[in-house]
Chain A
Amino acid sequence: MSAGSFILNILILGVPFSVALLLAGLGETINQRAGVFNLGCEGIMAMGAFLAFLPPYFLADTPLAGSANLIGLLLAIGAGVLLGLLFALVVVTFRAPQGIAGIGLQMLGWGTAGTLFRKYVGGVTGVAGIAPLPIPGLSRIPILGPILFNHNPLVYLAFLLVPVFWYVLFKTPWGLKVRAVGTYPRAADSLGIPVARVRYQALAVGGAMAGLAGAYLSLAQAKMFADDLIAGRGFIAVALVYFGRWNPVGVLGGALLFSLAQSLQLSIQVAGIDFPYEFAVMLPYALVILVLALVRKSRMAGPAELGRPFDREQRV
């Protein structure tokens, strides 16, 4: 295999790998900009992956088979919204510590999905999933075509959502409110912005995106469900938001960096290059830690009140 096709393979594989991280990371960006970090992202992704997998699995031979994937996606998004709102109830209304509550949500989602899967589905079974949709014309461009324009529709959607999220965050009234309640909720409150309501909305959006990210894994990437399908991607997504300095474009960069490292290690194994595979598998995770440690710390970029509940009548 030539070096050129080796690198091309890494890129072709890496782009779809980044999608689950990107979708979850965009949602988490909104959460954190509003001042709440949701470690339960992993659990919401597990529920999303499981629920999205059900319609194609059970409706395979029914008249509804054609729209099974769409029903699955909607189920995942709906569950994500509900879990996001549940998290908001716990950390915004009851002001529970966000780290602990997030770990609880992660266990709840992961455990529920796994248990229901074993009870009603059982062994590992594949589904048809979402088929690739090459874009006519563009997918035939040499090199760029296969890298960017020969994927399933969710890949295109995820990349289009990056500028959409950027616009929402920085150019709309809602984005302005989200940023204000995450940085200085007292100021937002003094201007009549309902801090709790904005945080609920942000967590609902974040939950929907995490659910969608889970659905992507089971319907488009793995085309199956298993207990450990998410494999820490929810936590990586939380880390990528810090890495991306709470900016959708930065999160895209982080997701691509991680997924390219992932596809590099797979390619190393597939190509039979003499390199201990344990280290290859470690590579993407080690890279994230390294980059997080080295990334420029700027005090003025992000949500200063990240992780703190807001109480109007509390002094200081």
Chain B
Amino acid sequence: MPFEPIRSLELRGITKRFPGILACDHIDLTVGEHSVRALVGENGAGKTTLMNILMGLYQPDEGRILINGREVRFRSPNDAFAHGIGMVHQHFMLVPNMTVAENVALGMKSSHRPGRLDLGSVRKRILEISERHELPVNPDAYVWQLSVGEQQRVELVKTLCLGARFLILDEPTSALTPQETDELIELLKKMSRELSVIFISHKLHEVKALSDTVSILRRGRIVFEGRTEDHSPADLAALMTGHEVALPCVECSDAPRPGGPGLLYVRDLRVRGDRGNRALDGVSLDVYSGEILGLAGVSGNGQRELAETLNGLRKPESGSVRLDGVELGGCGADAVIAAGMGYIPEDRNTEGIVPSFSVRENLVLKDVGTGGWSRAGFLRLGPISRNAATLRESFDIRCPSVDTAAGSLSGGNIQKVILARELSRRPKALVAVYPTRGLDMGAEEFIHKQLLARRAEGAAILLISEELDEIMNLSDRIAVIYKGRILKVVPGREATKRSLGLLMAGVLDE
């Protein structure tokens, strides 16, 4: 180690501007030794930009970085590594067609011998680190073969192999399942005895579980700093969004549901997955008008295939799907859309929008040939623009202009674009797949309210989610899917986390 260990790290007056955006506005932040500092804020608050500056990936327009009281200047990540600072990025920085060892070697300059790559020493280092921190990884596996949870472990091991004593973790749980998240939190708790950690998140229960102190960023400024234990998640949520946050709950009526077929009616659906496996094995569901049916389950149990089949993106082997009495099983997406189905897809960046199209264009994508948006083969730009202006206002889409490429917006705003398009079509039924995954509380609250409003207007909503809180807050009834079958359907008010958790693990009777 050429540099002394970091006892204190100070950011002073850090400012960074991007075209049209002030991402960081004179930010001061001090972090001490062996502590976990949570950096909390909504999407687009400037958290990631600030950390990229600390890593030397971005150069600040103003401000200074001090380590142990002395000013340092990071021109590239190599400078940050040399001081023992390492970062696990939100989007994994792993080259998929290389092995774990090769990925680590890329940053481990000591393995770069003249004319030869010393993978042996890299392997040894990986095994050392993975043993010391109980992070099992196989150095010779290719990254593309690994699950998301395993890739997260590889990222941690990689960062530690590069000598990090000061870890920055940018939303490390956003792609993980609830189980993987719990494991990671436990692991980080242990590691924080030896290391300093900056933990970026907007999931407040994780912040409470892990951090000693918390800093809250809002629109590029630090608005709060304090000890985590002195503040409740509700306090922190209010500080983060600038207003009181109360996630809405469904009010179930006691009136019994009508029997008979639902508005959205699924019978005996059998579907094959991408690898030829039987992904859905006889699924039957009824979703009634004015109802939210929550579909709980660990992801990978057929949710993706169900959503795709309901929306005409995957052909069923057998079975029936009806929307308001119209048979849609095996129909293409155009027929499904015409029948009045709305869809909030799992992957909002690739399935929900065309990233290079403007917000305005994305908002009319589903009806561009039919509705009032074109005449005689020409787009009617006037109505399209007015539509975009109205929806931007009513759905609070924060974008520099409606001509901005939709792909450049933050996740929450992309989701609002999708929601605006789908809901403004007044769908009879809506399939929402992980609608708030990776979003902050403000966006989550907004999306939940919109779903409940559509329910009140009589839509049949199928809500697919892994977040039990979300499912229990919103659902009239909850169905649990396990290995391509519906294990059980329970009334929402009778469900408990424990009973749902057991069902999700495939345990039918206690």
Contacts and interface: CB of A to CB of B under 8 A. Distances in A.
A199 to B, nearest CB: 15
A187 B408 contact: no
A245 to B, nearest CB: 11
A176 interface: yes
Contact of B97 (A192, A301, A315): A301
Contact of A312 (B57, B111, B116): B57
Given A313-B18, A313-B58, A173 B111 contact: yes
Interface stretch (A61-69, A177-185, A219-227): A177-185
Given A313-B18, A316-B355, A300 B106 contact: no
Contacts of B92: 187
Interface in B79-124: 81, 87, 89, 91-98, 102-103, 105-107, 111-113, 115-117
A173 B117 contact: yes
B177 interface: no
Given A171-B117, A176-B106, A192-B107, A315 B408 contact: yes
Given A193-B106, A316-B355, A300 B76 contact: no
B97 A183 contact: yes
Contacts of A188: 95, 106
Contacts of A304: 96-97
B142 interface: yes
Interface residues of A, number: 27
Given A173-B113, A189-B57, A191-B77, A179 B98 contact: yes
Interface residues of B, number: 37
B374 interface: no
A177 B162 CA distance: 16
B55 interface: yes
A186 interface: yes
Contacts of A180: 95, 98, 106
A227 B103 CA distance: 46
Interface string B63-78: 0000000000000111
A175 B91 CA distance: 24
Contacts of A302: 97
A300 B77 contact: no
Contacts of A171: 116-117
B349 interface: yes
A190 interface: yes
B407 A300 contact: no
Given A190-B57, A301-B97, A316 B77 contact: no
Given A300-B96, A304-B96, A176 B105 contact: yes
A192 B74 CA distance: 11
B77 A192 contact: yes
A241 to B, nearest CB: 16
Contacts of A194: 76
B224 interface: no
Q: Which of A183, A190, A193 counts the most chain B CB atoms within 10 A? A: A190
A302 B18 CA distance: 33
A115 interface: no
Nearest to A185: B95
Nearest to A186: B93
A183 B58 contact: no
Kindly name the residue among A172, A173, A191, A312 whose own CB sees the greatest number of chain B CB atoms within 10 A: A191
A172 B142 CA distance: 18
Interface string A148-187: 0000000000000000000000011101110110011011
Interface string B342-356: 000000010000010
B77 A190 contact: yes
A177 B78 CA distance: 15
- Chain B CB within 10 Å — which of A177, A184, A193, A300 has the most? A184
Interface of B: 18, 55-58, 76-78, 81, 87, 89, 91-98, 102-103, 105-107, 111-113, 115-117, 142, 144, 162, 349, 355, 407-408
Given A173-B112, A191-B162, 9 more contacts: A171-B116, A175-B117, A177-B106, A179-B98, A184-B96, A190-B57, A301-B97, A304-B97, A315-B407
Top 5 closest pairs, chain A to chain B, by CB: A192-B78, A191-B107, A173-B112, A187-B93, A192-B77
14 contacts: A171-B116, A175-B117, A179-B97, A179-B98, A183-B95, A183-B98, A189-B57, A189-B77, A190-B77, A192-B77, A192-B81, A300-B96, A304-B96, A316-B355
